[in-house]
């Protein structure tokens, strides 16, 4: 693919102003939704080939999320796209001030592999909704899903509006040499830095949706059964390959034993210990499979670690007596391994989290308002939940994004629309009246009026 000519063609199409038209945008979103619906079977087959993800979980965690985002855009776009009138001071009398949301232009969306449809298509529909054109570069790791998206979108849209470019590091590097008006990247912190550097050459604004180690505080007063249930579900969903999965648990020492046995009970109730099934999938590739095995220290094994290399299967695994110095605590796990650390003093646990890069998410299981507020007040993280994990992502009214090493910018709902828009500020003055007060000579009376006007 000649990226330069695709981007030039998108620039021309954007300059025709067609994408700014609300009815055009709404029609394209409806078209994307109906294409996805028509091709659901093909999308399910592709993802199953990539990592044996079941149709139901693909619907639940991927397609339904994209449909939901499209539905919100269809409902709210008109309102979000409106000029907004704002007040101004006497200095600008007589006149009015308003803000015009405008699309940024030609955008590049780079996706990650772990939720390949959701993480590529949600930013894509948001960019389209805001009136941009899109070059989408899905992750090459799940090759079948990348190809399915390319087939559906490239066969049904003109590349001067939406173009899916398949490929890996070489193709992404070549794309990043081009000039875009916005880059939306989902992936690792390491590659996020490469994207940020490439964008800096053209002062291109970026949204970086990155990863990190998301802590989960379990305090002694928590509802033990529901805490274990929610953590187990969130950790082992997608076989732990979720950016906002609870990476590790910090449990109060006094309930460590009860917590571990409640976790064990939940795992045994919901997961087969020896095979892939509808609610449990493969590790994405051999490289990650081997990396994850290297993080399981047999001395800390509480349960799990049943493996099958041929199927890239690792059963839900829990590690106990883990310390901050263990290998499993040195990198984002991104797999079905749950290390459990203990604490006796909450401040010490908070300080340990704060000494590390700011996480994408943080979860607190407790009803103790004082302690909850202490954690919320002291620990900086992208977003999170109290007495739940992951589910904050399902509310489009909550901006979704990281902070520090876990990312910059956010999306979902109106925040997504804003991240693909520029807000142009306009002052419109009345032409027929001109007050002399700002002009020279600066007489005493004018000075007095200026001071009175400006405060």
Q: Which residues are catalytic?
A: 209, 243
Told to check if 243 binds ligand NAD by CB under 6 A, we report yes
**Cβ distance to ligand NAD smaller for residue 139 or 419:** 139
- Exactly one of 205, 211, 359, 416 binds ligand NAD (CB under 6 A); that residue is 211
**Among 78-86, 207-215, 341-349, 436-444, which window interacts with ligand NAD (CB under 6 A)?**
207-215
**Cβ distance to ligand NAD smaller for residue 36 or 108:** 108
Told to check if 143 binds ligand NAD by CB under 6 A, we report no
Rg (CA), the chain: 25
Q: What is the 3-state secondary structure (H, E, C) of 24-66?
A: HHHHHHHHHHHHHHHCHHHHHHHHHHHHCCCHHHHHHHHHHHH
Strand 301-303 and strand 317-319: the pairing is: antiparallel
Told to check if 383 binds ligand NAD by CB under 6 A, we report no
**Which three-class secondary structure state does DSSP give residue 454?**
helix
How far apart CA 232 and CA 389 sit, in angstroms, is 10
Find all residues with CB under 8 Å of 37, minimum gap 6, and list them.
Answer: none
User: Between vectors from CA 33 to CA 29 and to CA 36, what angle results, nearest 5°?
Assistant: 140
CA 76 from centroid of its chain's CA atoms: 20
Question: Do the beta carbons of residue 316 and residue 267 sit within 8 Å?
Answer: yes
Told to check if 113 binds ligand NAD by CB under 6 A, we report yes
For 307, the token pair is 């493996």
Cα-based distances in Å from 151 to 58, 64, 162, 455: 18, 20, 12, 61
Residue number closest to ligand NAD, CB atom: 211
Told to check if 55 binds ligand NAD by CB under 6 A, we report no
Report 80-99 residues binding ligand NAD (CB under 6 A).
none
**Among 30-38, 74-82, 134-142, 264-272, which window interacts with ligand NAD (CB under 6 A)?**
134-142
In whole angstroms, how close is the CB of 431 to ligand NAD at the nearest point?
A: 49
Told to check if 304 binds ligand NAD by CB under 6 A, we report no
In whole angstroms, how close is the CB of 211 to ligand NAD at the nearest point?
A: 2
Residues found in the chain: 455
Report 316-345 residues binding ligand NAD (CB under 6 A).
332, 334
- Exactly one of 97, 188, 279, 308 binds ligand NAD (CB under 6 A); that residue is 188
Strand 206-209 and strand 182-186: the pairing is: parallel
**Cβ distance to ligand NAD smaller for residue 14 or 411:** 411
x/- contact string, 340-379, with ligand NAD (CB under 6 A)?
Answer: --------------------x-------------------
How far apart CA 357 and CA 179 sit, in angstroms, is 30
User: Which positions touch ligand NAD (CB under 6 A)?
Assistant: 110-114, 119, 137, 139-140, 168-169, 172-173, 186-188, 191, 194, 209-211, 243, 332, 334, 360, 402, 407
């Amino acid at each position: 693919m000649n990226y330069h000519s695709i981007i030039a063609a998108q620039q021309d199409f954007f300059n025709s102003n067609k994408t700014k038209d609300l009815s055009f945008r709404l029609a394209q979103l409806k078209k994307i939704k109906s294409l996805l619906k028509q091709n659901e079977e093909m999308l399910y087959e592709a993802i199953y080939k990539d990592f044996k993800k079941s149709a139901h979980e693909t619907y639940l965690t991927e397609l339904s999320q994209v449909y939901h985002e499209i539905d919100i855009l269809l409902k709210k776009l008109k309102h979000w796209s409106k000029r907004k009138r704002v007040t101004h001071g006497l200095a600008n009398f007589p006149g009015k001030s308003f803000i015009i949301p405008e699309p940024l232009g030609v955008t590049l969306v780079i996706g990650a592999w772990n939720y390949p449809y959701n993480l590529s298509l949600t930013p894509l529909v948001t960019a389209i909704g805001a009136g941009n054109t899109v070059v989408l570069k899905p992750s090459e790791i799940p090759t079948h899903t990348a190809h399915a998206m390319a087939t559906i979108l490239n066969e049904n849209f003109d590349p001067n509006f939406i173009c899916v470019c398949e490929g890996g590091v070489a193709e992404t590097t070549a794309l990043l040499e081009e000039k875009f008006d916005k880059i939306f990247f989902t992936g690792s912190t390491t590659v996020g830095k490469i994207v940020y550097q490439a964008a800096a050459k053209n002062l291109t604004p970026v949204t970086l949706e990155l990863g990190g180690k998301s802590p989960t505080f379990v305090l002694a007063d928590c509802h033990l059964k529901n805490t274990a249930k929610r953590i187990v579900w969130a950790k082992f969903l997608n076989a732990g390959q979720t950016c906002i999965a609870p990476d590790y648990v910090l449990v109060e020492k006094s309930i460590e034993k009860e917590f571990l046995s409640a976790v064990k009970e939940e795992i045994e109730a919901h997961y087969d210990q020896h095979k892939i099934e509808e609610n449990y999938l493969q590790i994405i590739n051999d490289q990650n499979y081997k990396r994850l095995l290297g993080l399981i220290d047999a001395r800390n094994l509480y349960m799990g670690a049943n493996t099958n290399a041929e199927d890239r299967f690792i059963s839900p695994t829990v590690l106990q007596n883990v310390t901050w110095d263990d290998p499993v605590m040195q990198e984002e796990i991104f797999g079905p391994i749950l290390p459990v650390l203990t604490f006796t003093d909450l401040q010490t646990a908070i300080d340990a989290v704060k000494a590390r890069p700011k996480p994408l998410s943080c979860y607190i299981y407790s009803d103790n308002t004082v302690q909850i507020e202490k954690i919320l007040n002291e620990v900086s993280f992208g977003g999170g939940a109290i007495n739940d994990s992951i589910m904050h992502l399902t509310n489009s009214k909550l901006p979704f994004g990281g902070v520090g090493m876990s990312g910059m910018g956010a999306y979902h709902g109106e925040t997504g629309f804003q991240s693909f828009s520029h807000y142009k500020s306009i002052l419109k003055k009345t032409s027929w009246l001109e007050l002399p007060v700002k002009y020279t000579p600066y007489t005493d009376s004018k000075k007095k009026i200026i001071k009175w006007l400006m405060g």
